[in-house]
Structure 1
Amino acid sequence: MSRFSHHPWRGGALAVILAFTASTAIAQEDMARPMPPDTLEWGAAPPSLPEGAELAVLEGNPMEAGSFVMRLRFPDGYAVAPHTHPTAEHVTVLSGALLFAHGDDPASAEPQEIGAGGFIKVPADHPHRAEAQGETVIQIHGEGPFSISYLDPADDPQGQSN
C-alpha cells in the first residue's frame, strides 16, 4: 500500500478532481452562446406563413421533435389568419405590437394589443390570429415539431386544403 492510501483527504480529493473534470466536460457541451441581435441570420419564413415574414432560429429545429427558440419579424400590417398549432406556443413581443385575438371564432373576436415586452401563452390546438402594428419582432419558444393549421383552408398560403 502506498503511504498516501490512508490519508483522509486522498479519497475526497480524487472525488473533487473527478467531479470537476465531469462538470467541465458537461459545461463545455452547454456553454453559453451569446447571440447579439446583429449576428442573427434572418431568412424567409416557411411557406406555411404568408409571404413577407422573416425567420431566425436561435436554438433547436422547429420542424423536429424537441425544444426550439425562433424569432419572426413582420412588416407593418402583416396578418396571420385564424389558425392552431398542435403544441403550445409561447410568444414574447420584442418590438412593435401584435394584435392578438383568440377563442372559438378568432376571426370576429376583438383583438388585444400586446406591446413590446408582452407575453402570450397559446395552448395546443387553441384558435387564434395575429396582426403586426408597425414592424414587429416576436420570439416563440416551444416544443417541436412546430406546424400551423388554418381554420379556413383557403387561408393557407401553401394552397393546400385538407
Structure 2
Amino acid sequence: MTRGAAGPTLVLVLAVGVLVATGVTLLLERSLTRILLGVILLGNGVNLLILLGGRSGAAPLVGTAPTAAMSDALPQAMVLTAVVITFGLTAFLLAVAYRSWYLTGDDEVQDDLEDRQIVRLAERNEVATADLGGEGPDGDPEQVDPEPARRRLRRRGQQP
C-alpha cells in the first residue's frame, strides 16, 4: 500500500487471492507435505488480507504524527498473533508429517475403513443402517459404559 492511498492496490488484492487459492488447493491434497505448504500459504494470504484491512500512514507512536495520519495498529497486532498461531500449527503438522514418514516411509494420508465403506455404499446408492436407539446400554454394541472399570468390578463382587 502506498502512503496516502485510499485503499489497497490491485496487486496486493491479487496476491491475497493467489495465496489463498493456492493454499486451499494444496490443503485438498493427500500428501502431508502439500498440506503443510497449503497451511503456510493460506496463513500468509490471510495475514496479508488482515493487513489490507488497516489504514496506512505514519508509525502509530504518540507524538510522531497527528492522530489522523497514523496507521491502524490493530491489524498489525492481529497479524503478529496470527503469525505465532500459524507457526505453532506448522510445527505440529511438520511433526505429524515426519512421524508418518518415519513409521510408514510415506507421507500420504490413507483412507480408513469407514471411508471406504461409505464410498461403496454411495456407489451402490444405498443408505447406511440407521441407529434407531432404544436398545439400552446392554443391547447396543456402540454404547460406551461411562462407569470406570473399578466400579464395574466392585459391583460384580470382584477385587481390582
Q: Normalising by structure 1, report the TM-score.
A: 0.23
**Largest Rg, 1 or 2:** 2
Give the structure with the higher percent strand. 1
Structure ranking higher on relative contact order (CA contacts 8 Å, 6+ apart): 1
Give the structure with the higher percent helix. 2
